[in-house]
């Protein structure tokens, strides 16, 4: 069975600062990895996904994530935070071609002006 | 707008009752997924349908059932409701891969 652990339930950054959200996964088979964002009172939106191609994945809204097999990590970054990035972010894992995603507990991002 | 419509937005009911949540997927999407989001359990995958057939099952209780109809809309039926079933229930849709388009959810409160 696969699972993810998101380190830090809450992250606060200044506008313009680096956003770094940590995700470590556990999987007995090659994983597919995903980051989703949830804005208040809305459903989730896919930011990016890793499906065994390039290890550095670029997503929407300036986010990117790097798959590091040796560290079993898939951390999400954005070089410069914007106020509109305030939301909850979820890391998820599935087995390749089996889209029964297991989600992490989520990390809430607040952006300070 | 994700194109996924969930009704109702809010539902308040009593323990022991039965409710039906409805989801219309984004136009053209064949897959529908149901998720439960609660404070204590986080986001849990319940079940997936693809073009009317059940494709994958997750942590779905026996008191819960779902189906996808020929017009591709889906319904999630929750019966013998307990206080612990109070949660946000999301529907998502996609052409067939990972869930791409999420609805805004149905908030169920069991009293």
Select the more confidently predicted residue: A1 or A59. A59
Answer yes or no: is pLDDT of A53 > 90: no
CA distance B41 to B24: 25
The whole-number average pLDDT for the span A4-13 is 95
Answer yes or no: is pLDDT of A96 > 80: no
Residue B14 has what pLDDT? 98
Residue B110 has what pLDDT? 98
Mutation target to probe the B interface, by most B beta carbons within 10 A, among A6, A42, A44, A90 is: A44
**CA pseudo-torsion sign A59, A62, A24, B103:** negative
Residue B96 has what pLDDT? 82
Res. A41 pLDDT band, cuts 50 70 90 = confident
Residues of A in contact with B100 (CB under 8 A): 46
Residue B39 has what pLDDT? 87
From the CA of A3, how many Å to the nearest CA of chain B?
Answer: 12
Q: Which residues of chain B have pLDDT under 50?
A: none
Task: Report cis status (omega within 30 of 0) of the bond before B55.
Answer: no
**Nearest neighbour of A101 by CB, restricted to B4, B98, B101:** B98
From the CA of A99, how many Å to the nearest CA of chain B?
Answer: 5
Res. A39 pLDDT band, cuts 50 70 90 = very high
Q: Do A46 and B104 touch (CB under 8 A)?
A: no
Mind giving me the DSSP string for A16-84? TS-EEEEEEEE-SSPEEEEEEEE-TTS-EEEEEEE-SS-SEEE-GGG-EEEEETTTTEEEEEESS--GG
């Amino acid at each position: 069975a696969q699972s993810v652990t998101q380190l830090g339930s809450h992250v606060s950054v200044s506008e313009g600062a680096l956003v770094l959200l940590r995700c470590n996964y556990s999987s007995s088979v090659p994983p597919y990895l995903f980051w989703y964002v949830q804005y208040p009172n809305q459903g989730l939106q896919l930011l990016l996904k890793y499906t065994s191609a390039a290890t550095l994945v670029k997503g929407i809204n300036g986010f990117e994530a790097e798959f590091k097999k040796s560290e079993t990590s898939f951390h999400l970054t954005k070089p410069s935070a914007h106020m509109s990035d305030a939301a909850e972010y979820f890391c998820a894992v599935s087995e390749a071609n089996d889209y029964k995603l297991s989600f992490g507990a989520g990390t809430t991002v607040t952006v300070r002006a | 707008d994700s194109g996924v419509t969930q009704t109702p937005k809010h539902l308040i009911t009593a323990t022991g009752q039965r409710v039906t949540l409805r989801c219309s997927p984004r136009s053209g999407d064949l897959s529908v997924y149901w998720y439960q989001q609660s404070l204590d359990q986080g986001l849990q995958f319940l079940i997936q349908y693809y073009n009317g057939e059940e494709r994958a099952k997750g942590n779905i209780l026996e008191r819960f059932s779902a189906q996808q109809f020929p017009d591709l809309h889906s319904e999630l039926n929750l019966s013998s409701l307990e206080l612990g079933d109070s949660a946000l229930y999301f529907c998502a849709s996609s052409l067939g891969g990972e869930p791409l388009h999420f609805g805004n959810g149905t908030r169920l409160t069991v009293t």
